[in-house]
Chain A
Amino acid sequence: MTAAAASGPSAILPGRGGIGGALSDAFWRNPKLLLFLMLTPPLLWLGVIYLGSLFALLMQSFFSIDEFSGVIVREFTLKTYGELLRPSNLDIIIRTVTMAALVTLAAAVIAFPIAYFAARYAKGRWKAVFYLGVMLPLWSSYLVKIYAWKLILAKEGILNWLFAKLHLTFLLDGWLALPVVGGNSLSVSPTGTFLVFVYVWLPFMILPVQAALERVPSNLMEASADLGASPGQTFRNVLLPLALPGVIAGSIFTFSLTLGDYIIPQIIGTSHRFIGMAVYAHQGTAGNIPLAAAFTVVPVAIMGVYLWLAKRAGAFDAL
């Protein structure tokens, strides 16, 4: 290896040659060209096809439908948005938003202990068990999950059987007799819809809350205890404020997913419509694309406001 420097080949080597070599040199000399080539396919797909479709839908919400012929009138009007304010449509919006809010709240309450345990106490093997324990339900089939609840909530299903075995059927009947939340059976009651929503979206709440809690240094809790706070005070004054961005991040999912869903209330629930069902009905048999489009703007607008508020609360750091 000695004397390599003194003689030996030239300090500048010839290129590899060929098309590959020439292209490689061209990309090296002009990194913007490479960037352009890399970004063009995804931008064409997502930027042109996808965004274009969204924009076209938005445009249609400013059209209206001729009530007699059923033909779409392609003229700018706010009439379709006005229709959203009709009592029956307003009802749908209020019902959906209330459900989304309740589902979010319930999901946060159930998710917190799981996330807290996984973040602070689970170590090694148990950590993996918890992680998979959340990931597997998250990724398993959405329809199968709904189907499972159809089995659970059915009149002859496991829940009724359980209540009967425990001689508590009167409790269930009492609940179902209540106005608003009750119904003929669990599978055709708002309670049923609520349960399924909470179940299906729960993992989306657990993961961001866990991520936020994992970032809380454990000595903060010790510092709080050291300063004389009871466990309850530590939870309220230290843990909860620090976990809040994670809860908000999770709520973005649970809230948005509930707002847009039309399958769960269709299968488990009453005949009262949710926004998603209204969109589906208007674009389908009714053929009223403008009203369907205007309805889709509602969850987007609600989520826009929600995201803006969440961003101000610093929730995106926990995503």
Chain B
Amino acid sequence: MPHAVTFQQVSRHFGAVRAVDAVDLEIAPGEFFAMLGPSGSGKTTCLRLIAGFEQPTSGHIEIFGETAEGVPPYRRHVNTVFQDYALFPHLNVADNVAYGLMIKGVGRAERAREAEAALEMVKLPGYGGRKPGQLSGGQRQRVALARALVNKPKVLLLDEPLGALDLKLREQMQEELKALQRALGITFVFVTHDQGEALSMADRVAVFNEGRIMQTGTPHEIYRRPQTRFVADFVGSSNVLSPDLTARLGGPRQWASLRPEDIRLDTDGHHRGRVIAASFLGSATRITLEIDGETLSVLLPSGSAVPEPGEEVAFSWSPGDLHVMGDEA
């Protein structure tokens, strides 16, 4: 079976700007795939390349084994949930959801039935008669989802779909999206700048920076074994250790990452540092240690004793938590 989406050396340049630069990518059918990165990293352009709104400057794109470059968006069996939802303001919710079916020439009664079924799926039964302007942000998001899913796309693209929602709603939608994806078995490609969202929802994550993919892997791999300094820093704000510090802490003279929550304050610890700051975060306390002019963040679980700034402390970590990334990174 072919991959759902394949990129081979795909580039998209806007004048001198290399929005996407020689990207290779394979997304498996039925996968929940996240593209993670800061704004301007090329993740949204990649999504638009799959949707067909952008054409690659060079390289080759396949969707389920079929060549996609040169094919207009309306001939791709791929649908998008837009960041601003892009609901048609002149149509009511039911007609919005049924738009794709109407274009396809599906009869009125059938259209209405399928639209209502799709609305039920996103937990908005009976909302068909309303105008998009009468809905809340979260409801619009669900309508946008229903409007895409009703076409039973081969790939569903989601462009920061949760970005405009408040925290509580966002967490709820994350779970629902995940459940929906599992139930439907459709390939989801999800763009986000929120690493927590990417890690909690996706089967696999690609981390983007400056038009390139820095690392692709399962959330666990990305989090535990960042291959580059950028990934270590961007995903979960890990401590990035210079080769000097790594060597001082007993590792090879190479760049390495060490998660703040993996460091324990421990009187038996082999290493010593001075506390220069401490801040209470609610579920934990973050303290900053200074070791020979370099700093290290440590997350202490709530309830543990918090040292005062200026205090000298000993610390340690379990073998394997210190992850060596190599010289170049």
- Residues of A in contact with B (beta carbons under 8 Å apart): 1-6, 8-15, 24-25, 28-29
B121 touches which one: A1, A6, A25, A28 (CB < 8 A)? A1
Structural contact, A1 and B117, CB atoms closer than 8 A: yes
A5–B75 CA distance with the chains assembled, in angstroms:
17
- List the A residue with the shortest CB-CB distance to B103: A16
Interface with A: B33-41, B181-189, B193-201, B297-305, which one?
Answer: B181-189
Contacts of B77 in A (CB 8 A): 9-13
Digitize B50-93: 1 where CB-to-A-CB distance is under 8 Å, 0 elsewhere: 00000000000001111110111001111000000000000000
Q: Which of B20-50 contact A (CB under 8 A)?
A: 29-30
Which of the residues B30, B70, B72, B155 comes within 8 Å of A11, measured between beta carbons?
A: B155
A175 shortest CB reach to chain B, Å:
58
Q: Is A15 within 8 A of B184, CB to CB?
A: no
Determine whether the beta carbon of A4 is less than 8 Å from that of B184: yes
Known: A1-B117, A13-B75, A14-B75. A8 touches B30 (CB 8 A): no
Task: List chain B residues, Cβ under 8 A from A28.
Answer: 72
Please indicate the chain A residues that have their CB under 8 angstroms from the CB of B187 in the complex: 5
Do A5 and B185 have beta carbons less than 8 Å apart?
yes
Q: List 23 A-B contacts (CB under 8 A).
A: A1-B117, A1-B121, A1-B152, A2-B184, A4-B184, A5-B4, A5-B30, A5-B185, A5-B187, A8-B152, A8-B154, A10-B64, A11-B63, A11-B65, A11-B78, A11-B155, A12-B63, A13-B76, A14-B75, A25-B72, A28-B72, A29-B70, A29-B72
- Would you call A5 and B68 a contact (CB within 8 A)? no
Whole-angstrom distance between the Cβ of B128 and the nearest chain A Cβ: 17
CB-based nearest B residue for A28:
B72
Q: B121 near A5 (CB under 8 angstroms)?
A: no
Q: Does B324 touch A at the CB level, under 8 Å?
A: no
Q: Is the CB of B152 within 8 A of A12?
A: no
Establish whether residues B72 and A3, one from each chain, have CB atoms under 8 Å apart when the complex forms.
Answer: no
Please give the distance in Å from B74's CB to the nearest CB on chain A. Answer: 8
CB <8 Å contact, A6 and B72: no
CA–CA, A10 and B77, complex, Å = 7
The number of residues on chain B lying at the interface, defined by a beta carbon within 8 Å of a beta carbon of chain A, is 29
Given contacts A12-B75, A13-B75, contact A2 B183 (CB under 8 A): yes
Contacts of A14 in B (CB 8 A): 75
Contact among B63, B70, B121, B186 with A4 in the assembled complex (CB-CB below 8 Å): B186
- Contact indicator B70/A2 (Cβ below 8 Å): no
Tell me which residues across on chain A come within 8 A of B68, comparing CB atoms.
Answer: 11-12
The secondary-structure label for the interface of chain A is: loop
- CA of A25 to CA of B185 in the docked complex: distance in angstroms? 31
How far apart sit A263 and B81, CA to CA, in the bound complex (Å)? 59
Candidates B66, B155, B186; contact of A10 at CB < 8 Å: B66
Q: Report how far A9 CA is from B77 CA in the complex, Å.
A: 8
- Hey, which chain A residues are within 8 Å of B184, CB to CB? 1-2, 4-5
Residues of A within 8 A of B64 (CB): 10-11
B149 within 8 A of A: yes
A15 to chain B, nearest CB (A): 6
Task: Check A5/B63 contact, CB under 8 A, given A11-B155, A12-B71.
Answer: no
Cα A25 to Cα B73 in complex, Å, equals 10
For residue A3, give the distance in angstroms from its CB to the closest CB of chain B. Answer: 6
Contacting residues, chain B, for A12 (C-beta < 8 A): 63, 66-68, 71, 75-77
Q: Which residues of B contact A25 (CB under 8 A)?
A: 72
Per-residue A-contact encoding for B169-183, CB less than 8 Å = 1, 0 else:
000000000000001
- Return chain B residues, CB-CB under 8 Å to A8: 152, 154
A2–B75 CB distance below 8 A: no
A3 contacts which chain B residues (CB < 8 A)?
A: 185
Q: Is the CB of B75 within 8 A of A4?
A: no
* Cα–Cα distance between A4 and B118 once the two chains are bound (Å): 14
Shortest C-beta distance, A14 to chain B (Å), equals: 7
Could you tell me the distance in whole angstroms from the C-beta of B226 to the nearest C-beta in chain A? 31
Given known contacts A2-B184, A11-B66, A15-B75, what 8 new A-B pairs fall within 8 Å (CB)? Answer: A1-B149, A5-B152, A10-B64, A11-B63, A11-B154, A13-B76, A24-B72, A29-B72
- Which chain A residue has the least Cβ–Cβ distance from B181? A5
How far apart are A22's CB and chain B's nearest CB, in angstroms?
A: 12
Q: How far is the CB of B54 from chain A (nearest CB, A)?
A: 12
Q: Nearest CB to that of A27 among chain B residues? A: B72
Chain A residue with Cβ nearest B71: A12
A5 contacts B154, CB within 8 Å? yes
B:91-132 near A, CB below 8 Å: 117-118, 121
Residues of A within 8 A of B66 (CB): 10-12
Given known A11-B78, A11-B154, contact A5–B186 (CB-CB < 8 A)? yes
